[in-house]
Amino acid sequence: MGSKNKLKRFKENEKFENVIQPEREEIINKDYFLRGKWASQFFKNKNPLILELGCGKGEYTVELAKRHPEFNFLGIDIKGARFWRGAKTATEENIPNAKFLRAQIELVDLLFAPDEVSEIWITFPDPQIKFQRTKHRMTNPEFLKKYHRILKPDGIIHLKTDSEFMHGYTLGLIQGSNHELLYAHHDIYNNNEIASELVEIQTFYEKQYLEKNKAITYTKFRLNF
């Protein structure tokens, strides 16, 4: 994507009412003003909040919001030029329960209050395979602790990935730490029992992986700390 295109998208994001882009200092140095108030002040309702972490172009945020108007969906990514597509679609199609936040995922527990989030979706994260990159894996123990702080007691995490490594790594953590595995499958497109939205909603990258005949995995679990 050219730099002019990126700048244009950044400018559009600033005008979208469904996008918020706090400075890092706003989040770190004081109690963020929407923390504990995302539903009432940003979505203007009392509906449960669901996050898509590393949302990319925001396909899951937008499509789940269409299917489930009774929930608020918030896509989070540091790359605003990517989620511009989701924000624009949600604006054009008048999907009020799909919104976007530009922020780093490692700040998630500073952005949301305890028990504020009902579910978390992690869709096709970078598996960070090299050992020295372990701290950046979005299901590593430190990230799971952050998610646990903001999730409701019965909150659920969904992981969808093309990476066998990420799938196996996460399953190992779930089983080794006595978290509650609710469902797992190593190839959802060869599974007649899978929930329809798991195969009907496809991300930009997922479509590319499917064209290369890569298996798509899915894991659903609940944290116990």
Which phi and psi angles does 141 have, rounded to 5°? -55, -35
CB 99 within 8 A of CB 19: yes
Q: Give bridge partners of residue 72 from the DSSP assignment.
A: 49
∠ Cα 215 205 19 (to 5°):
135
Q: Give bridge partners of residue 157 from the DSSP assignment.
A: 120, 221
Distance of CA 128 to the CA centre of its chain: 17
Sign, Cα dihedral of 27, 29, 32, 36: positive
The SS3 assignment for 156 reads strand
Rounded CA gap, 196 and 184, in Å?
15
* Residue 115 among the catalytic residues: no
Rounded CA gap, 13 and 135, in Å?
30
Secondary structure E strands in 2-150: 19-20, 49-53, 72-77, 98-102, 117-123
* Catalytic entry in 77, 126, 162, 187: 126
Rounded CA gap, 29 and 128, in Å?
29
80 sits in which H/E element: helix 80-92
**Which of the residues are catalytic?**
126
